[in-house]
């Protein structure tokens, strides 16, 4: 499996169940799963930072034998152009991960811009009401922290609706629980997040 510029935080052998699917990202996951029906051998995968887009791309590569270009905006456009052409010539699918698709992604190379316009677009949206509590529970569990359903529900209805906010919330509560040697609780979360400005109305 050939990969380019991938962040090192993801496991080499991605587990598909690590990517939580709800309506906010189901379409993107389905588009990558149906790569054999793409009009070209390339898709552009977009989504907010920390939305799991790199993980989803790795899952795609593991299943399809395809290749990935991550953080595409930070790479030379000629490199992406040649990778696009190579995917077509070899018949091997390619996923290009970016913050946004053109024209928001201001691609200067006309030939690359036209090729990206003809590529399949898979978009991950901001997390929905279903995904927020699932992400909170997953992140707390990964850190070995017990967060009861009442705390998860309390947090899910108060924090900002973004992937970054979920991660910052878990980071902050993990640190506070460790420093104070206390169990996670609503009072601890209320005091911590209010002081940090992550919730406006406790």
Across residues 166-181, what is the average pLDDT?
94
Q: Can you count the helices (H) and strands (E) in the chain?
A: 8, 5
- Looking at the DSSP assignment, which residues form a beta bridge with residue 97? 45
Of 64-68, 153-157, 197-201, the least confident: 197-201
Across residues 152-174, what is the average pLDDT?
96
Q: Is there a domain that residue 32 lies in?
A: yes
Q: What is the pTM of this model?
A: 0.87
End-of-domain residue from the set 59, 92, 123 = 123
Q: Is there a domain that residue 148 lies in?
A: yes
Note whether 84 and 144 are same-domain residues: no
Note whether 177 and 78 are same-domain residues: no
Q: Is there a domain that residue 165 lies in?
A: yes
Residue 6 CA to residue 14 CA, distance in Å, equals: 13
The HSE-up count of residue 98 (CA atoms within 13 Å, CB side) is: 22
End-of-domain residue from the set 75, 106, 123 = 123
Residue 83 CA to residue 79 CA, distance in Å, equals: 6
- The angle at the Cα of 140, spanning 136 to 142, to the nearest 5 degrees, equals 120
Across residues 191-202, what is the average pLDDT?
84
- Looking at the DSSP assignment, which residues form a beta bridge with residue 51? none
Q: Is there a domain that residue 201 lies in?
A: no
pLDDT tens for 14-55 read 566 789 999 999 999 999 999 999 999 999 999 999 999 999
Position 8 scores a pLDDT of 31
Residue 109 CA to residue 81 CA, distance in Å, equals: 9
Position 66 scores a pLDDT of 95
Give the CATH number of the domain where residue 106 resides. 3.40.50.300
Note whether 116 and 138 are same-domain residues: no
Note whether 87 and 19 are same-domain residues: yes
Position 167 scores a pLDDT of 95
Q: Is there a domain that residue 162 lies in?
A: yes
Q: Does the structure show a pLDDT above 80 at 64?
A: yes
Note whether 53 and 137 are same-domain residues: no
pLDDT tens for 69-119 read 999 999 999 999 999 999 999 999 999 999 999 999 999 999 999 999 999
Of 10-19, 49-58, 164-173, the least confident: 10-19
Q: Does the structure show a pLDDT above 50 at 11?
A: no
Q: Would you call 37 exposed, middle or buried from its count of C-beta atoms within 10 A (0-12, 13-18, 19+)? A: exposed
Structural domain that includes position 152? 131-196
Could you write out the DSSP letters of every residue in 118-146? TSEEEE--S--TTHHHHHHHHHHHHTT--
Confidence of residue 2 (pLDDT cuts 50, 70, 90): very low
Q: How many domains does the chain have?
A: 2
End-of-domain residue from the set 79, 101, 123 = 123
Q: Compute the CA torsion angle 84, 89, 91, 92 (nearest 10 deg).
A: -50
Q: Does the structure show a pLDDT above 80 at 200?
A: no
Q: Is there a domain that residue 73 lies in?
A: yes
Note whether 15 and 53 are same-domain residues: yes
Across the chain, mean pLDDT equals 90
Q: Any residues with CB less than 8 A from the CB of 26 and at least 6 apart, and which?
A: none
């Amino acid at each position: 499996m050939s990969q380019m510029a991938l962040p090192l935080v993801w496991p080499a052998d991605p587990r598909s169940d690590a990517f939580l699917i709800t309506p906010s990202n189901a379409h993107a996951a389905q588009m990558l799963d149906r790569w054999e029906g793409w009009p070209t051998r390339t898709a552009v995968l977009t989504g907010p930072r920390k939305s799991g887009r790199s993980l989803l791309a790795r899952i795609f590569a593991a299943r399809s034998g395809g290749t990935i270009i991550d953080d595409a905006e930070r790479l030379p456009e000629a490199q992406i152009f040649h990778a696009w052409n190579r995917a077509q010539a070899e018949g091997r699918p390619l996923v290009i991960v970016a913050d946004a698709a053109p024209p928001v992604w201001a691609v200067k190379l006309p030939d690359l811009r036209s090729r990206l316009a003809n590529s399949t677009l898979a978009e991950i949206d901001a997390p929905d009401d279903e995904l927020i509590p699932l992400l909170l529970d997953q992140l707390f569990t990964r850190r070995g922290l017990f967060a009861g359903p009442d705390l998860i529900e309390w947090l899910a209805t108060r924090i900002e609706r973004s992937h970054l906010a979920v991660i910052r919330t878990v980071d902050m509560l993990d640190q506070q629980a460790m420093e104070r040697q206390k169990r996670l609780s609503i009072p601890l979360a209320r005091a911590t997040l209010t002081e940090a400005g992550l919730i406006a109305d406790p």
